[in-house]
Amino acid sequence: MNQQAETNAQFDPDLPTANAVMASLCCVAAQYASKPSIELAKLALDLAYKLSAPQYAESKLITEVAQQLVRQWKQVLYQQVQTRAAGMIMPDSRFIN
């Protein structure tokens, strides 16, 4: 795990197990699927970072999945930011809320 991921990987006492983090992440992902937003992408990325905290590393699979989720949600967030930026440049864009 790189330094940035270690910084962002923090245990959350409100989510005491990897299962709790994954359940929360699944709920956020479902909401994102129905109505994508930067805020939901940020929340999903935050939960993915939490899942990569050492306290949740119950198995190698969880560690690998957490790392993959961080990469994927970073990409989703990047695309959301790019879409928003494009919408600000082109006021007639259908992406402006």
Instruction: Please give the Cα distance from 83 to 77 (Å, whole number).
Output: 10
Pick 46 or 2 by higher pLDDT: 46
**Phi/psi of residue 77, nearest 5 degrees:** -65, -40
Asked if residue 90 has pLDDT above 60, the reply is no
DSSP category for residue 14: T
Asked if residue 9 has pLDDT above 90, the reply is no
Q: Length of the chain in residues, anyone?
A: 97
Percent of the chain with pLDDT over 70: 81
Confidence of residue 93 (pLDDT cuts 50, 70, 90): very low
The answer to whether 75 and 96 have CB atoms below 8 angstroms apart is no
Can you give the pLDDT at residue 10?
87
Which residues contact residue 86 at a Cβ distance below 8 angstroms, ignoring those fewer than 6 apart? 93, 95
pTM over 0.75: yes
**Phi/psi of residue 53, nearest 5 degrees:** -65, 145
Can you give the pLDDT at residue 41?
96
Asked if residue 2 has pLDDT above 70, the reply is no
Q: Mean pLDDT throughout 20-31?
A: 97
Domain boundaries defined on the chain: 3-89
CA 76 to chain centre: 8
Which residues contact residue 38 at a Cβ distance below 8 angstroms, ignoring those fewer than 6 apart? 77, 80, 81, 84
